[in-house]
Amino acid sequence: MLDIRNISVSVGEGKERKPVLKDLSLHVEDGEVHVIFGPNGSGKTTLVQTMLGYPGYTIDSGKIEIDGADITQLPINERVARGLGVVFQHPPAVRGIKLNDMANLVLKKKNTDDVLPETADWAKRLNMEAFLKRDVNYGFSGGEKKRAEVMQIILQNPSFLLLDEPDSGVDVENVEIIGRLLNKFLQRDLKPQARKKAAVIITHLGYLLNFVKTDRAHVLCDGQFLCSGDPKEIYANILKNGFDKCQNSCLYSVREEAGCVVPDGTGRE
């Protein structure tokens, strides 16, 4: 279970410092998959990096809990040890470290250059076999980076998965491959009570949702959730109205939902 309680986060230093997330809360039970929609710059990646504990993201108030334990002060790797796993929107290239080294890292197989059978298997399913011996993300296309990220994360096998635009820059065929693999990884094919994995998926493309069943969607605008509700309905409305007026993404039908504040369309609440 993941619990984000009223966090406000700012980025940058000194004069450059600016608040990005504003008193934001999110609660994801084990076995649930939530999706976050939001325009560019609304704070989606900031939310992910904050949950991971990246330096440069200052939590001004609020806290983050995993399974009831406050992780707000933990370094990145200790959060990962508690079950967090991330697919990055823009993973960095690291010269001299091969994709296979990353696989061995998440599999906790140190001091070996061998390709383990499970790595070979997932690389094959994601069409990444030819990339295992290449420097991770170096010269990879956008889609190749995402497939490499998904491969690492499946091998890492976290109980709580954060996916920051796993589908952007990926061609439709590979979105389908990634979507189906994630759906299986997140145990969406099991009965709800049998599901253990939880996830937050950030996307602006609803296409991925054709393959990954999700429980709930949130619309993030200017560092706040404007509304929450049924993923398909919210997505349909975003398609119709776009994010131009952010609040248009929210539907009347979700207005009734408890805790969802929907503005009247004037831009003021």
Partner 1 sequence: MAMQDLDPSEFKTQAPDAHGQVSTLKELGDEMKAKLARLGLMIAEEAGAGTYLQRDQTTSLCSTRSKGVEVLPIRQALQRYDWLKDYSWVAVKADTDKFTRDAASAPPDVVQGYFVRGLKGQVERAPVQTCLYVESRSTKQVVHNIVIAEEGSEINIITGCLAHGGIGRAMHEGISEFYVKKGAKVTFTMIHEWQEQMEVRPRTAIVLDEGAAFINNYIALKPVGSIQSNPIAYLNGDNSRVMFQTILYGKGSSRMDLGSRAVLKGRNTSAEMVSRIITRDKADVVARGLIVGDAPGAKGHLECRGLLLSDTSRIDSIPELDAKNPDVNITHEAAVGKISPDEINYLMARGATEDEATSMIINGFLSFDLSELPPEIAKETKKLVDQTMKGL
Ligand X SMILES: Nc1ncnc2c1ncn2[C@@H]1O[C@H](COP(=O)(O)OP(=O)(O)O)[C@@H](O)[C@H]1O
Residues near partner 1 (CB under 8 A) are 52, 54-55, 75-77, 80-81, 86, 88, 91-92, 94-98, 101-102, 105-106, 108, 135, 152, 156
Closer to partner 1 at the Cβ: 102 or 217? 102
CB of 144 to ligand X, least distance (A): 21
| Number of residues lying near Mg ion (CB under 5 A) | 3
Q: How far apart are CA 240 and CA 249, in angstroms?
A: 8
CB of 174 to partner 1, least distance (A): 22
By the 10 Å C-beta count (0-12 exposed, 13-18 middle, 19+ buried), 88 is classed as: buried
Per CB under 6 A, contacts with ligand X among 11-30 are 11-12, 20
Secondary element (H or E) of residue 120: helix 117-125
Q: Does 42 bind Mg ion (CB under 5 A)?
A: no
Closer to ligand X at the Cβ: 15 or 95? 15
- Collapsed DSSP state (helix, strand, coil) of residue 93: coil
Closer to Mg ion at the Cβ: 44 or 218? 44
CB of 80 to partner 1, least distance (A): 5
Two structure tokens written together for 183: 């759906």
- Candidate segments 41-49, 62-70, 150-158, 170-178, binder of ligand X by CB under 6 A: 41-49
Considering only 10, 46, 100, 224, the residue that binds ligand X (CB under 6 A) is 46
Q: How far apart are CA 8 and CA 20, in angstroms?
A: 7
Two structure tokens written together for 86: 């991330």
Two structure tokens written together for 5: 């309680």
Strand duo 198-202 + 2-11: pairing: unpaired
CB of 48 to ligand X, least distance (A): 8
20 binds, among partner 1, ligand X, Mg ion, none (CB under 5 to 8 A by kind): ligand X
Considering only 34, 44, 146, 188, the residue that binds ligand X (CB under 6 A) is 44
- Scanning the structure block, which residue is given the tokens 């998926």? 201
> Is residue 26 a contact partner of residue 34, using CB atoms and an 8 Å limit?
yes
Closer to Mg ion at the Cβ: 45 or 152? 45
Q: Does 192 bind ligand X (CB under 6 A)?
A: no
To the nearest 10 degrees (0 to 180), the angle between helices 142-156 and 99-106 is 20
What is the per-residue burial (b if ≥16 Cβ within 10 Å, else e) of 120-140? eebbebbebeebbebbbbbeb
Closer to Mg ion at the Cβ: 44 or 195? 44
Q: Does 42 bind ligand X (CB under 6 A)?
A: yes
> Is residue 184 a contact partner of residue 193, using CB atoms and an 8 Å limit?
no
Instruction: List residues bridging with 221 in a β-sheet.
Output: 224
Return the amino acid letter for 41.
G
Q: Does 45 bind Mg ion (CB under 5 A)?
A: yes
Considering only 2, 10, 37, 43, the residue that binds ligand X (CB under 6 A) is 43
Strand duo 84-87 + 160-164: pairing: parallel
- Scanning the structure block, which residue is given the tokens 């709800």? 192
The residues of the shown chain that bind ligand X, judged by CB under 6 A, are: 11-12, 20, 38, 40-46, 56
The residues of the shown chain that bind Mg ion, judged by CB under 5 A, are: 44-45, 89
